């Protein structure tokens, strides 16, 4: 067997960002519906009911409000966390089989924290653009696209506002990155060790499906808090604790409002991201 066939292809630092951006284009309507469910105050609609309401009131293409911000978020947040995680793992720690799970968790946490902070501005614009159609006409922000939103926030609200909710966004990113990247790698290794799976799309689908479920369970409460904080008018909440108390008025279930759409969105997004990522790795990755 030749030296080249003995080598394994590893992903380049930007593959994760491109794969996540592609996945965002597929799952954006589910993400938008999740935001609408989490920010509703009076009604108690489910996923299907909210979808019907949005399409009936604002048209089918309103499901793609904020798509540019969603793509920008993936090209900042996900590209950063994938670059750190894959770069350190492949160039410093070793192969998936060689790296202990606790090191994958620690690396995923660090990568998620940095990525979450970097992606906070685009994340805030994403939430605002998705929720804009629910506001009265005179209160809508009417951002033309993500860059327009960033510039308007910077000019009207200051640079610090771009990082509003950064602590919460980074905290969530730590959990979702551990759930997605660390668990994906570990589950993938465990499935390969059974001898039943090979490094193909069946393995990638199975591992990413399980990772998406785990990431949803880990992040749902923080996701609700983050969405509320980012979308609230200035002065609504004095702290994260104040926001949490407001949510708890409706009971602990308030932290899991939109759980089903969150899983429906994060699950497919995780699956599509890793399928795209693995295809990029297997066809265009670097030989190691």
pLDDT at 2 over 90: no
- Residues of the chain with pLDDT > 90, as a percent, come to 46
Contact 27, 67 (CB under 8 A): no
| Cβ atoms < 10 Å from Cβ of 195 | 7
pLDDT confidence tier of residue 264, bands split at 50, 70 and 90: confident
Q: Domain boundaries in the chain?
A: 8-287
Structure confidence at residue 144 (pLDDT): 87
Structure confidence at residue 5 (pLDDT): 45
pLDDT confidence tier of residue 155, bands split at 50, 70 and 90: very high
pLDDT at 35 over 80: no
The reported pTM is 0.80
Structure confidence at residue 115 (pLDDT): 96
Strand spans (E) along 90-211: none
Q: Quick: pLDDT tens for 107-148.
A: 999 999 999 999 999 988 988 887 787 778 888 888 888 999
Q: Quick: pLDDT tens for 103-118.
A: 999 999 999 999 999 9
Note every long-range contact of 94-97, with CB atoms under 8 Å and residues 24 or more positions apart, other chains counting.
Answer: 95/8, 96/185, 96/188, 96/189, 97/189
Which residue, among 29, 27, 40, 33, has the nearest Cα to 231 in the 3D structure?
A: 40
Which residue, among 157, 161, 177, has the nearest Cα to 123 in the 3D structure?
A: 161
pLDDT at 190 over 60: yes
Please state the rounded mean pLDDT for residues 23-48: 77
CATH code for residues 8-287: 1.50.40.10
Structure confidence at residue 279 (pLDDT): 95
pLDDT confidence tier of residue 43, bands split at 50, 70 and 90: low
């Amino acid at each position: 067997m030749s030296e080249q066939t003995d080598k394994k292809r590893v992903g380049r630092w930007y593959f994760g960002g491109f794969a996540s951006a592609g996945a965002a284009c597929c799952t954006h309507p589910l993400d938008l519906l999740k935001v609408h469910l989490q920010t509703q105050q009076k009604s108690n609609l489910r996923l299907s009911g909210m979808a019907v309401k949005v399409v009936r009131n604002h048209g089918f293409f309103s499901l793609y409000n904020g798509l540019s911000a969603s793509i920008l978020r993936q090209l900042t947040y996900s590209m950063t966390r994938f670059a750190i995680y894959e770069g350190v793992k492949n160039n410093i720690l070793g192969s998936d089989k060689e790296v202990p799970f606790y090191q994958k968790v620690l690396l995923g946490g660090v990568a998620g924290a940095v990525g979450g902070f970097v992606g906070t501005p685009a994340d805030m614009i994403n939430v605002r653009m998705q929720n804009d159609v629910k506001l009265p006409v005179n209160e809508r922000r009417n951002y033309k696209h993500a860059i327009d939103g960033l510039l308007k926030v910077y000019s009207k609200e200051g640079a610090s506002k771009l990082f509003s909710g950064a602590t919460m966004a980074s905290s969530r990113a730590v959990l979702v990155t551990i759930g997605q990247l660390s668990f994906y790698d570990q589950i993938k290794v465990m499935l390969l060790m059974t001898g039943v799976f090979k490094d193909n799309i069946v393995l990638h689908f199975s591992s990413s499906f399980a990772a998406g479920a785990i990431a949803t369970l880990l992040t749902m409460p923080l996701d609700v808090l983050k969405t509320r904080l980012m979308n609230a008018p200035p002065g609504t909440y004095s702290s994260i604790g104040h926001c949490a108390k407001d949510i708890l008025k409706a009971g602990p279930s308030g932290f899991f409002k939109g759980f089903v759409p969150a899983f429906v969105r994060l699950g497919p997004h995780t699956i599509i991201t890793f399928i795209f990522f693995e295809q990029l790795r297997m066809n265009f990755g670097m030989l190691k």
